[in-house]
Amino acid sequence: MHRRTLLAAGLTLPFMHGCSQAADVLPSPAPTQGLNAALMDRVAVRAEALPRLHAMIVARDGQRLFERVWRGPSLETPVNVKSASKSVIAALGGVAIGQGVFQGVEQPISAFLADRFPATPDPRLAEVTIGDLLSMQAGLGSTSGADYGAWVSSRDWVRYALAQPFEAEPGGRMVYSTGTSHLTSACLTRASGRSTLALARDWLGEPLGVDIPSWPTDPQGIYFGGNDMRLSPMALLTFGELYRNDGLHQGRRILPEGWVEASWRGRGTSRWSGDPYGYGWWIRRSGRHEVFFAWGYGGQMVFVVPDLRLTVVMTSDPAPVQSRDGHVDALHALLDQGVIPAAEQGAAVA
């Protein structure tokens, strides 16, 4: 049954929309502790040979067991995390729902942005929901890739994104678009009466104990909702750990109960990678393990492997490259062929 029919029938499920289901989770192997030192030594050698890789942190059970800076700034210095910003914006969407700023993922964005719709809007704009924005299922034409430059050069990013022709039905096929994520920032600003920067600092920065510097805004002063946030590798680790611990930080609930599970449920699928996408998080498998990750251009990565109690951060040179250079694939290989086997084997027991 389509989600619109479920709503018409008065049936609601917290944080859920779309027809995709969570992937079956295989039984976890026997738990291990720590990381195999010999395998991590090999990871370090392979990582150092990647010219674009700046830093890596590997934490298990919340304990940092490997941290290295090969080039670039320190682990405490904020860096441009590019589209990993989208995962942070999605977290703010979850907090907004928990605090009643948003009514839920099924709330139409017309509640906040109707005055920014085109003069003769496509009727489907009225169907687009907060959840559609978070899962990239708004259906609006993309403002990423080849279309990014024209969008960020426009005089009104929100109006421009809302005026894109529909490529898919709302709630249907995934259309990756930074403009769609930016609409979330616009909704947060309208709904709360506060800037997205202020919300990020109050809802995430302060309780997590991490610094969130200012980042760019659009011409109307709305903070960029999908790119160019600056967070340190250590702050990214804290953010990943928040999700690994089901929205809790040091026993304090930051994300509403059930939000992590909802965020890590695949709703759309990338036509480029084939990976499912939830609320701001990508999903794939590494052997028998489910991996959830935030991904920013150039290799700004936060990997969470729940059944191994593992969180891994990698930051890289964010400068544009002329063509696909295989760097992001190499980062996935470091995780798959190095870090995960090191966790599976665990540290030697004396």
Residues 91 and 215 in one domain: yes
- With respect to residue 313, please indicate whether it lies within any of the assigned structural domains: yes
Burial (0-12, 13-18, 19+ Cβ within 10 Å), 323:
exposed
Rounded CA-CA distance 160/13 in Å is 32
pLDDT score for 189? 98
Report the DSSP beta bridge partners of residue 277.
Answer: 268, 282
pLDDT score for 197? 98
Residues 69 and 89 in one domain: no
User: Across the chain, which distance is largest between two alpha carbons, in Å?
Assistant: 72
Q: Which of 234, 269, 281, 220 is nearest to 93 (CA)?
A: 281
pLDDT score for 29? 54
Total H helices, total E strands in the chain:
14, 12
Residues 196 and 87 in one domain: yes
Residues 60 and 96 in one domain: no
- With respect to residue 323, please indicate whether it lies within any of the assigned structural domains: yes
Last residue of a domain, one of 203, 228, 253: 228
- With respect to residue 16, please indicate whether it lies within any of the assigned structural domains: no
- With respect to residue 75, please indicate whether it lies within any of the assigned structural domains: yes
Question: Where in the sequence is the domain holding 132, given as residue range(s)?
Answer: 82-228
Last residue of a domain, one of 209, 228, 247: 228
- With respect to residue 25, please indicate whether it lies within any of the assigned structural domains: no
Residues 173 and 246 in one domain: no
Residue-wise pLDDT tens digits, 243-276: 999 999 999 999 999 999 999 999 999 988 899 9
- With respect to residue 254, please indicate whether it lies within any of the assigned structural domains: yes
Residues 125 and 62 in one domain: no
Last residue of a domain, one of 228, 249, 274: 228
Residues 126 and 54 in one domain: no
- With respect to residue 20, please indicate whether it lies within any of the assigned structural domains: no
Inter-residue contact 35 to 57 (CB < 8 Å): no
Residues 243 and 343 in one domain: yes
Mean pLDDT of each 10-residue bin along the chain, 350 residues long: 33 39 47 96 98 98 98 97 98 98 98 97 97 98 93 97 97 97 98 98 98 98 97 98 98 98 96 94 97 97 98 95 85 98 86
Number of Cβ within a 10 Å radius of residue 5: 9
pTM of the entire predicted model: 0.91
Q: Can you give the CATH number for the domain in which 123 is found?
A: 3.40.710.10
Residues 41 and 54 in one domain: yes
CA 157, 162, 165 angle in degrees (round to 5)? 120
Rounded CA-CA distance 159/303 in Å is 34
Q: What is the count of structural domains for the chain?
A: 2
What DSSP line would sit under 235-278, residue for residue?
A: HHHHHHHHHHTTTEETTEE-SPTTHHHHHTS--EE-TTT--EE-
Residue-wise pLDDT tens digits, 20-31: 334 444 444 558
- With respect to residue 177, please indicate whether it lies within any of the assigned structural domains: yes
Residues 92 and 223 in one domain: yes
Residues 101 and 206 in one domain: yes
Residues 242 and 320 in one domain: yes
